[in-house]
Structure 1
Amino acid sequence: MSKPITLYSHATGPNPWKVAMVLEELNVPYDTKFMDFADLKKDPYEQLCVNGRVPAIEDPNTGINIWESGAIVEYLAETYDTKHELSFEKGPEKYQVKQWLHFQMSGQGPYYGQCAWFNKFHPERLAAPTERYDEQVKRVLYVLNKALTGKKYLVGEKCTIADISFVPWNEMLGFILGDKLASWDVEKNYPAYHAWHQSLLARPAVKKTWEAKQKVASGGGQ
């Protein structure tokens, strides 16, 4: 049996939880080490992740340490998804999974993050950047909805690491936008996206992981 991978995480940030979801989906043993934000920007953590962010992993089975969630997810698929349950071994689908994973990292994550900042955390309410990032979130929803129309998953006929990687940020839209989200009527205006997201939330590994996140974020234990 494999030794547990150490996953460095944080209770509230979404990116470590997509790594946890993939680990759960692949039945890879892991231990989570929850970090305080203050400890991310100093040693010993900066020796592991010079960027001072989570997630990062240490894999005692290979001796490999990696940070950046997308790189970690790709590593897990290539190292542990030997039956290609969440990936494709070859063909165009192999690269299309990478395409959507990169879109999640470059499109969804940064825009949702900035949307969260200007809607929730910036000390002043600034209309222009708030509206800009709201519109960018809508653009991501539009792209996903268009791509998923007539399909159950982003690539091929199965759920992959690409699909799962979108879940944590999508599930945080209610927190990011608050009452504003209801006016967007996501189920009506982005029906293919909505059905896809709900199907992913129903997956046992995803459901287990997100329930664990909610418990930790509410102070119910680590």
Structure 2
Amino acid sequence: MAQFTLYSHAQGPNGWTVAFLLKALGLTYETKYLDFGANEQKSEAFLKINPNGRIPALVDHQNNDFTVFESKACLVYLQLKYDTENRFGAGATAEQQAEQAQWLYFQASGQGAYFGQAAHFKFFAPEKIPYAINRYEQEVARVLGVLERVLSGREFLVGGKVTIADLSFITWDNFGLNMLLPEGINAEEKFPSVAAWHKKLTSLPYVAEALQEREEVVAAQKK
């Protein structure tokens, strides 16, 4: 039996963030991909696991089936409990923890929220609303600008190494840098430090493995 069960969605970005760290730490897991078309994420069975009815959720079978939802909470749990060498944590001091937390919160409330709305209004909304599309495209550019300002002076967000803070941005940056910016903005020219950071992160073996797995799962589901 795998050590963890990860409830996710093949095309959704947030579950794969957790998969990055599971792979990096060598933890075994089984992924259950929920069928959003069948509303499985709102089923009574899944709501017992995640009352918010969204993915991801993580069940730790070697810790009395301890369950945690929200991708950033999953990352924090895995790093604190299983990253015994602190490979992916910023450090133990209050200052180090706060610096890491600020980026995790910024990802959740800034990048994830605004990039998600940009994707919705650009690609999925039944009605094209120019105001909404423009608003969220501009927010994508603003968030990338915040990252650019910081990463132009450092290699990674916290502590001079890859941490869960960096890993938390990868999947939404895949969309943001390629599809969600306002028309006419070249991501590599406008945000060169972010683009270089993102390329470096996606080249990490455990990240590349998960992203390849994502492509295979999506392709299989489309057959």
TM-score normalized by structure 1? 0.93
* Aligned residue among 78, 81, 84 for 2:83: 81
DSSP 3-state at the match of 2:48: helix
- 1:44: Cα distance to partner? 0.8
- The answer as to 2:124 corresponding to 1:125 is no
* Aligned residue among 63, 67, 70 for 2:69: 67
Unmatched runs of 5 consecutive residues or more in structure 2: none
- 1:32 equivalent in structure 2: 31
What is the CA deviation profile of residues 62-92 of structure 1, one whole-angstrom value per residue up to 9, with x for unaligned ones?
1211111111111111111110000033232
Aligned mates of 2:201, 2:191 — CA distance in 1: 16
TM-score normalized by structure 2? 0.93
- 1:213 equivalent in structure 2: 214
- 1:57 equivalent in structure 2: 58
- The answer as to 2:162 corresponding to 1:159 is yes
- The answer as to 2:198 corresponding to 1:197 is yes
One-letter code of the match for 2:104? Answer: L
One-letter code of the match for 1:102? Answer: Y
Aligned mates of 2:104, 2:118 — CA distance in 1: 20
Structure 1 consecutive aligned stretches of length 4 or more whose deviation exceeds 6 Å: none
DSSP 3-state at the match of 2:135: helix
Aligned mates of 1:27, 1:76 — CA distance in 2: 11
Relative to structure 2, which stretch is displaced further, 108-117 or 181-190? 181-190
Aligned mates of 1:194, 1:181 — CA distance in 2: 16
| Native 8 Å contact 2:141 2:182 kept in 1 | no
- 2:147 equivalent in structure 1: 144
| Native 8 Å contact 1:118 1:126 kept in 2 | yes
| Native 8 Å contact 1:148 1:154 kept in 2 | yes
One-letter code of the match for 1:104? Answer: Q
Aligned mates of 2:121, 2:165 — CA distance in 1: 27
| Native 8 Å contact 1:3 1:61 kept in 2 | no
Aligned mates of 2:112, 2:177 — CA distance in 1: 15
DSSP 3-state at the match of 2:59: strand
One-letter code of the match for 2:165? Answer: A
One-letter code of the match for 1:154? Answer: L
- 1:175: Cα distance to partner? 6.5
DSSP 3-state at the match of 2:220: coil
Aligned mates of 1:182, 1:171 — CA distance in 2: 17
DSSP 3-state at the match of 1:32: strand
Aligned mates of 2:20, 2:183 — CA distance in 1: 27
Aligned mates of 1:8, 1:20 — CA distance in 2: 10
| Native 8 Å contact 2:137 2:182 kept in 1 | no
| Native 8 Å contact 1:120 1:176 kept in 2 | no
One-letter code of the match for 1:88? Answer: A
Closer, same or farther: CA 125–220 of 1 in aligned 2, 3 Å: closer
What is the CA deviation profile of residues 104-143 of structure 1, one whole-angstrom value per residue up to 9, with x for unaligned ones?
0110001000000110011111110110000000011000
One-letter code of the match for 2:127? Answer: E
